[in-house]
Structure 1
């Protein structure tokens, strides 16, 4: 499969020594993105706190694609730190800095350090729908059954 090209540019304040998003293994779906903090500082997230962590990157995503921002499983399991709006979406027409909203769901403070891998980026195709008001919808076996309607096991 041919990779989708994503153009990236540094923000003015970015530390250009921080690695670009990279795939940790040949079979990885997500590319790790790193914190790019002003003056190589750190950010402490108290339990229950959230913060917008800069990456120092801007992107040009091709039309017909999005980049999803997803949590790193190790941060979630070991520290309770995850992406607050997972998955976040970066639209193809956005050209501002990529920031990652991290939240600490753990019971201990967590320090985000400069250059640390904080999330993963997954490139995905997008299909835009057209919405049309109709008088009624077609019937299904499930019907209007909502949360828990198909059972608990």
Structure 2
């Protein structure tokens, strides 16, 4: 049996946590493109040729939200088959904490960027496996 080798694409996403009035918030974007146009997601995107995944995370965060952070910590690598309808994607997920809730603006392929209280996440529809990634990142942070 001659199976074609599977080619994986690399992405990087960022879980940014902030706080207002002692309530934790997470920074989300609303996707402007398919797949999952209109769904909420983490800021992030494709790794460019020759680019480090952490550099991708910093770049995509600025491009999609206007927010720049100093330090990122690796949350984990998500690579389960079927996590993206476009094919095999391996996602390097990073986390950052910021003071307060800095101003953000949706840009690039993000239709909107918004700080959302953690308690509101239960009622939101997420793209890809981002609900699981958020749970993992928040659990690690608390």
Give the structure with the higher percent helix: 2
- TM normalised by structure 2 equals 0.26
Larger C-alpha radius of gyration, 1 or 2? 1
Question: Normalising to structure 1: TM-score of the pair?
Answer: 0.25
